[in-house]
Amino acid sequence: MRVLGIETSCDETGVAVHDSARGLLAHCLHSQIETHARYGGVVPELASRDHVRKLAPLIREALERAQTPRTALDGIAYTRGPGLAGALLVGAATARAMAFALDIPAVGVHHMEAHLLAPLLEADPPAFPFVALLVSGGHTMLVQVAGVGRYRLLGESLDDAAGEAFDKTAKLLGLGYPGGPAVERAARDGDPGRFRFPRPMTDRPGLDFSFSGLKTHTLNTARREGDAPQTVADIARAFQDAVIDTLAIKCRRALDETGVRRLVVAGGVGANAALRERLAEVARRRDARVHYPRIEFCTDNGAMVAHAGCLRLPGEGSRDDAFDIAPRWDLESLAPPGDAVTAPAAGASAPGAGSRG
| Contacting residues toward ligand KG4, per CB under 6 A | 10, 136-138, 163-164, 166-167, 178-181, 184, 267-269, 271-272, 299-300, 356-357
269 binds, among Zn ion, ligand KG4, none (CB under 5 to 8 A by kind): ligand KG4
Nearer to Zn ion, 87 or 186 (CB): 87
Cβ-defined contacts of 22-26 (< 8 Å, 24+): 23/121, 24/121, 24/303, 24/306, 24/307, 25/65, 25/66, 25/67, 25/68, 26/62, 26/63, 26/65, 26/66, 26/68
| CB-facing half-sphere around the CA of 72: CA atoms within 13 A | 11
Cα 252 from Cα 247, distance rounded (Å): 9
Indicate the residue type of 115: H
Four-residue CA torsion sign, 302, 164, 244, 211: negative
Comparison of 74 and 113: residue with beta carbon closer to ligand KG4: 113
The phi, psi pair for 154, rounded to 5°, reads -95, -35
Q: Which residues pair with 150 in a beta bridge?
A: 147
Smallest distance from the beta carbon of 228 to Zn ion, in angstroms?
A: 34
Query: Which residue's CB is nearer to ligand KG4, number 178 or number 302?
Result: 178
Instruction: Note if the bond before 129 is cis, omega within 30 degrees.
Output: yes
User: Which residues 119-178 are close enough to bind Zn ion by CB under 5 A?
Assistant: 136
Asked if 344 is part of the footprint of Zn ion (rule: CB under 5 A), the reply reads no
From ligand KG4, Zn ion, none, which one binds at residue 271 (CB under 5 to 8 Å depending on kind)? ligand KG4
Nearer to ligand KG4, 137 or 317 (CB): 137
* Whole-number Å distance between alpha carbons of 160 and 16: 30
Determine if 300 is a binding residue for Zn ion (CB under 5 A): yes
- The least CB distance from residue 65 to ligand KG4, in Å, is 22
| Interaction partner, residue 356 (Zn ion, ligand KG4, none; CB < 5-8 Å by kind) | ligand KG4
Element (H, E) at 30: strand 23-31
Interacting partner of 293 out of ligand KG4, Zn ion, none (Cβ under 5 to 8 A depending on kind): none
218 binds Zn ion (CB under 5 A): no
The CB-of-139 to ligand KG4 minimum distance in angstroms stands at: 7
